[in-house]
Each structure stands twice: as structure tokens, then as C-alpha cells.
Amino acid sequence: MTSNSTNSPTLQSEATAAVHLLDDWFDPIEAGLRDRVREFIQVMIESELEAALSRPRYGRRPKTPDENAERPSGITGHRHGHRSRSLLGTFGRVEIALPRARLDTAEGKTTEWRSTALRAYQRRTRQADSLIAGAYLAGTNTRRVRRALAAVFGGAVSKDTVSRVWRKVKGDWDAWNGRSLAAEPIVRLILDGTVVRVRLDRKATSIALLVVLGVREDGQKVLLAVKNMGGETSQAWRTVLDDLVKRRLRRPEFLIVDGGAGLEQALAALWGDVPTQRCTVHKHRNLLAHAPQRLHDEVSADYNDMIYATSPTEIEERRRAFLRKWRLKCKAVADSLEEAGDRLFTFTRLPRSQWKSARTTNAIERLHEEFKRRIKTQTVLPSAETAALLFWALLAAGQITMRKVDGWQTLTDKLADTPIDLAA
């Protein structure tokens, strides 16, 4: 009979070889270690039970307290068999014969003995949970975590296991959201929002994550809040700020914002007299949006000459020159700059060493970029709360670290009383 297959024997043999490519990567150390894991765990739990019963296995209870005085005393219960327990660790999945026992109580009754090493209903070691959660935070989805860790866990991790591990993080998340901020020596706040796609009512929907970073007296940045909201409205931001005040956050001495109208209104109502810096990067984007493409390089050059001048006097002079030039060349650009007012130059009231860190909201923008990079493979997150939780967990787990702000040594210095001269 003639074969109708289009695959040649050579191609079939190559495909077979590809399937078994990693099968000969045998490691005798790993194999020997995993063979002994089950024995080690059972010995550890048996020893724990022996200590609880104050006698070794097969040791008998004396008939009366006076008999056999040489035997160990203090027996507090009896064994009654074993039960099978499956445990997943970094060593893979093992089946353990867990010993059972009944312990005597002061009331003359008995209660089931519980191991402290292997908790009730525990199916994974904490190290395994940490590894699964860490792989998820590194920027992959639940299904890809399973495939990535298949070699470590012997293929024993399902996407549902990853989801369950992730839900365990929620307890720490809830505690973090409710913690008191009274002891936080915060002197500066950086506020900004970012948009992410989540699944709401079975449909992909865009929501805003409102993020608040604090800067301590020693210059260390710390995440204070991340809330999922429908948008960056005044009401949404006021909800976030009121929650911080409720948790006893002290009044900041300096604010850095992106220039959004909703945030500006919320801050004006709560901390209207706190010096506020408009992000110079956001304003740069606004200026370019008002200019034709062919003028973008020229606008950028003039703007950067002004913003990165080395003294308040130079900034004043270059601002006046910028307005004179662009009122004639493209009035919309000049109007956009004037709209920001002196809030675009509040950083000039700080010591020169702090200008770099105080000009922009780049500290939060970097977090947004790292967050977006890690959720890129998921496209749409399963819920709004998951988005905020994941943002926090990246920092809490050390996947993203934050250094001290530039010029932190002078953070305790008072601001200059006089802002720059806006007269053009």
C-alpha cells in the first residue's frame, strides 16, 4: 500500500530528536537529592511527633504511674496510623506518609495532633510559593509560569496553582493598604497616574492607577498608595489623598505633579499652600503638541536651554527670550508655557543639588514603564484590583528597587521665599 504522508523519514527523525532534546540532561546530584527528600521530611515529622508524645515510636504507655519507673514519663497521647499527603517544593512533588496521633487534653479528652513543620492543608512549601510568585512578577502570565518552572517542579505546577499562590499575596496587600503612616518621615510627595487594561464585566476596559510616592527625610523613596480608579478626576484623586490623611500621613513640604487638572484641583482643596512643581517633561510634551512637526526640534532646544539653565536668573532671562520668540513664531506654544505659571519653576526655590530630582515625576514614570513591561505578555489583567496589587508587589518583592533622590543631603533645608520673576 502506498503511503500518502508528506513528511520524509529524515524530517520525522529530526522532529523526534527535538521532542527528546533535553532528556539526556541527567544530573545525578539532583536525582539523588530528590530521592532522599521524602525520607528526610518523614524523619523530621516523626521526630516532631516523638517530642510531642515524649516517647519513641512503638513505645508503650505504662499501666500505672508507679510501674516501670525507669521508662520515660509524660506520655500525652497515642499514635493511630498514617495518612498520605502530597507536597510540592523546589525539589518537585513528593508523597509523604504523614503520621497521625491523638493528644490528651486537661479535660480528659483527646485532640488531633498537628505538625508545625507541615501545616494543615499545606500543599506547597513557602519557597515554592515564593518561586512561583517571583516568576509571575518577572513579567509572564500564569500559563507561561507553568511551562517555565516545569523542569524545577517536574511539571507539577498548573496555571490554577499559580493563581492560588498569587491570591495568597492579597493578605499582605490588604495589610499594606491599611497600615498607619504616622511614623513615616515624609517631606515630599510625587503623584501621577497610568492607564492599564483590565477585564471588567467580561470586557476589556481601561482604568487609571493613581500612584503616590513619598520621599523620606533621608531621601529614600517609598510607595505610599496605588489605587485603581475610573480616571484621573478630581474626585478620584481626592479619594486617594483623603485615605492618606486618614492613615495619618503628615503634611508634605513639597509636591511634584504631572499637571493634570483633576490632581491640581484635589491638591488645591487639601494642601493649597504647599509649594508645587509641575513636571517639566509633561510640559515639554504639551508644547510639542501645540507646534507643527517641523518645529519640534527648535521648540525642544529652546525649552531645554531654559529648564536646564544653571541659576534662577538665567532661567528668567531664557524664559523671557522663549516667550518673545514663540509669540511671533507659534503663539500656541508661548500660551502653553504661560499656562503653567510659576509652578513650572518651583524647583528653583530648592537648593541647586535637588533640581534634578525635583523637576519631574520621572521617579513614578520609571515605575510605570517597569510595570507595563512586566504585564506586556498579559495584555489584559484579570481585574482592577489585580492591577494595583501587581504594581505594589513588584516593589514589595524587590523586583523593582528605588534609590534615594539626588540632593537628599539638603532635603531639610528651607525653600527660598521668592519664586522666579515671570514678567516677560
What mean pLDDT comes out for the span 9-21? 48
Residue 156's pLDDT band, with cuts at 50, 70 and 90, is low
Query: In this predicted structure, what is the pLDDT of residue 81?
Result: 84
Query: In this predicted structure, what is the pLDDT of residue 16?
Result: 47
Question: Is the pLDDT reported for residue 30 higher than 80?
Answer: no
At residue 183, the 3 state secondary structure works out as: coil
Contacts 24+ apart (CB under 8 A), 418-423: 418/349, 419/342, 419/345, 419/346, 419/348, 419/349, 420/312, 420/315, 420/316, 420/319, 420/342, 420/345, 420/348, 421/316, 422/319, 422/341, 422/342, 423/320
Residue 359's pLDDT band, with cuts at 50, 70 and 90, is very high
Query: In this predicted structure, what is the pLDDT of residue 372?
Result: 84
Residue 86's pLDDT band, with cuts at 50, 70 and 90, is confident
Query: In this predicted structure, what is the pLDDT of residue 347?
Result: 94
User: Which span out of 111-120, 143-152, 276-285 was modeled with the highest average pLDDT?
Assistant: 276-285
At residue 128, the 3 state secondary structure works out as: helix
Question: Is the pLDDT reported for residue 234 higher than 70?
Answer: yes
Tell me the per-residue pLDDT of 322-357, one tens digit each, with 9 for 90 and over.
999 999 999 999 999 999 989 999 999 999 999 999
The pTM score is 0.69
